[in-house]
Amino acid sequence: VTKEKSYKVGPQSAGRTVLRLTTDEKDWGNAALTSNTDIPTKSWHHLAGTYDTKSGQAKVYLDGKLDGKIKIGGTIISNNDMLWLGRGQGPFLDGRMDEVRISNIARTEDEIRTLMDQGIEGVLAVSPKSTLISTWGYLKVRR
pTM over 0.95: no
Share above pLDDT 90 across residues of the chain, in percent, rounded to a whole number: 13
User: What's the domain range around 23?
Assistant: 2-142
* pLDDT at 132 > cutoff 80: no
Q: Which residue did the predictor score with more confidence, 8 or 134?
A: 8
Domain count of the chain?
Answer: 1
CB atoms within 10 A of CB 76: 18
Q: Is 95 helix (H, G, I), strand (E, B) or coil?
A: coil
Average pLDDT over residues 17-45: 78
